[in-house]
Structures are given as structure tokens and as C-alpha cells.
Amino acid sequence: MGRMTLTRATSGTGEEPGYSPGEPQTSRPRMSRKKRLLFACMTFIVFMFLLGIAFELILGFLAPQPLLPRYVTDFGFGIRVHCPDISIHHTTADYRIGVRTNSKGIRADREFAVPKPEGVIRIVGVGDSFTFGYGVEVEDTYLARVERILEEQGFSVETINFGVAGHGTAEQMIMLENVGFSLDPDFVVVGYYMNDIADNTRSMLYSLNDDGNLVRKAETYLPGVEIRDFLYSFALYRFLAERFHLMYFARTRLSDLLQKRIRDQHRAAASLDTQDEERLTATLLDEVKRKCLARGIGFCVLDIPSEYNKSNLPRAFLEVVTPDDIVDLRPAFHERMKTTKLYWTRSDGHWTPTGHEIAADALARHIRSLITTDLPGT
């Protein structure tokens, strides 16, 4: 059998089928490499945008995130301080509140005179987000309530709120040294919360030497502040950060991972165990009291319990701070928690206005017991 060969059929003129003499022969235009790359990039951007919108809607409806934008910066002494003159909102599944600061980054709707007005009892509070007052309006924070309670008792009082979310005892002491003491306070209140121990290890601003004395280890602790300052300089980023659930979800998860990593690294580098961390925090609290006593300033620790009514205040390692210096809220909270909502459990776990009310009542009683005839306003 002969081998079969295939040939292309032609029109008899030697031209391709379908070709008409005189008609120019064309081919499909090809996209250049540069255009293909641009098209792929634009497709990816559109896809990611639509995906982001989808996730934003899912989170917003099914798992709304607590939108708690933080405006902190460096005031020149190495720790985070709230930006001055901010006016924003915190929004969660439980509440929507206004957050404002004055020209010094203090949560207040007023300025504070220096020197202190004659006859005024001035109370300075340092602490973290519980002290700052996440979850309540400025007038409902425990420090603002203490001011009203004591004024109702006939005293002229000013309370100044230096609380900053994420601050540990080390940062609180630095805040007092650089700003708080300059306002001539009569009392200093340290708001202690159980994550302060981890915060002090993470910042590693101080450590203990072999003799158990405090040693300054780092001049600054400003995690992410430079990046945050840059991003918040753009109005679009501020708009997204204050309103978008997806951005808050991603930012907080990343922050949690980084904070845990930093703490673990510092623990490993210094060979710290839990008792070492507790001893560091206790020594910091003792040092704050020493600094207050040296200036003739009253001092106390407000022991803030968790939503499970627990505290890990390192009492066993305190040497200068005594039980008389500690306002323990657990007994009062234990009774009220049976019938009243004291924590925003659907969102960020901070106090409700009732929680601040209980804390203010206990703190006002303690401060009232310390007021002597030597103090102004008595």
C-alpha cells in the first residue's frame, strides 16, 4: 500500500481558502509584554479590592470588630503618649463613645494650669486603657468621677488622666517623671492591671541587677510609632483605620503576634521566669512610691481586676508599697457582678460606666482618708 500524504487544499490560485484577491491578509494583534503585565496587575488589584470589600461586609455583619483607633506619638522622652487635640470615636458592638484629648495629650476637655491654682487638690492618674477609659465617655472615667465625688464633699479637686493603652508600670513611671510631677500633684494613683507584668517585660525599659536594683536598659520603647505617625498623616488611612473592620482585624492580629514575640525574646535573652517578671513589676511600683514620697505626694495603687475578678498584683515582692497603699476592687466587684454588667464582654472587655462608678467610689474613699489638714482645700 502506498503511503498516504496530506496536502493543504487551495483555491487553485495558490492562495489560502477564503482569501479574496485584492483583500489584505491580516493576523490577530498581539498584546505587548508590558501591556500584559499591566493588565495582570490591574486585574489583581481589582480582585483584591473586591475580596477586601467581601471580607469587610462579612466581618461587619457576622463578627464586628471593636474599632478603637489609637493616636499615640513620641513626645520626646521615649514612650508613647496620646497625640494632642484629637477628637475621634470608639465604636464596638456594645457602645459608641467620643475620645478627645487636650493640647498635652491628656484625656480631658480642658487645660490644666501650671502652677496649680491655690486651694486645689490635684490628683494625677497613670495607667493603661482602663485608666484612660476605653468604653466610657470622659466624664464617666473613674478619675473624673472621683473629682465629682470629692467636690460634692466640699473639696476643690482636679484629676488629670495620663492613662495610655498598653502602658506598663515602667512607662507610667517615666510619664510621671517627665510630665506628671511637673503638674504639682497632691496624689498619684497608679492603675494596675494584670497585663502590666507582661508589658514591663516587653518594653524592657528597666531590669534588675544582681543586687535587685532597677537599671535603665533602654532609652525608648516606641513600637510602631514612627510607622503609625507616617500612615496617619494620610487622611485616607485615618478614614479606613477608624471605620473598617478588616483593617482593625488585620492590624490587631499582627500587633498581638509582634508583642508576644518581643516579650518572648526579652524573656529568653534575660533568662526571666514568672517570678523574675513579678519582682521587676513590684520593684517598679516601689520606686514610683519612693519618688512620690520624696516629693511629699500621696500614693496609692488601684488594683483593677479582670472580668473574672482576678488580679496578679505581685504583693509577695512589694517592699515599699504596703497593703494600706492598695485599693483592692475585687470585694466590691464580686458583689456587683452578680447582678450588674461591669465589663463590655461583647467587644473589648473594658469597664462599663458602672465599673468605673464602683472604682471611683472605692478610690474616693481611700483618698478622702488620706487628706490631712495640711493639704489645700481642707
At the top level of CATH, the class of 65-370 is alpha beta
- Mean pLDDT over 142-167 rounds to 97
Q: What digits encode the pLDDT tens for the residues 317-327?
A: 999 999 999 99
375 touches 186 (CB < 8 A): yes
Averaged pLDDT score across all residues of the chain: 88
Q: Which residues contact 33 (CB under 8 A, 6 or more apart)?
A: none
CA distance 134 to 89: 11
Task: Say how far apart CA 123 and CA 160 lie, in whole Å.
Answer: 6
* Predicted local distance difference test score (pLDDT) of residue 28: 59
pLDDT for 178 equals 97
- Is residue 25 over pLDDT 80? no
Higher pLDDT, 44 or 136: 136
Could you tell me the maximum CA-CA distance found in the chain, to the nearest angstrom? 128
Of 73, 167, 134, 63, residue with least CA distance to 351 = 134
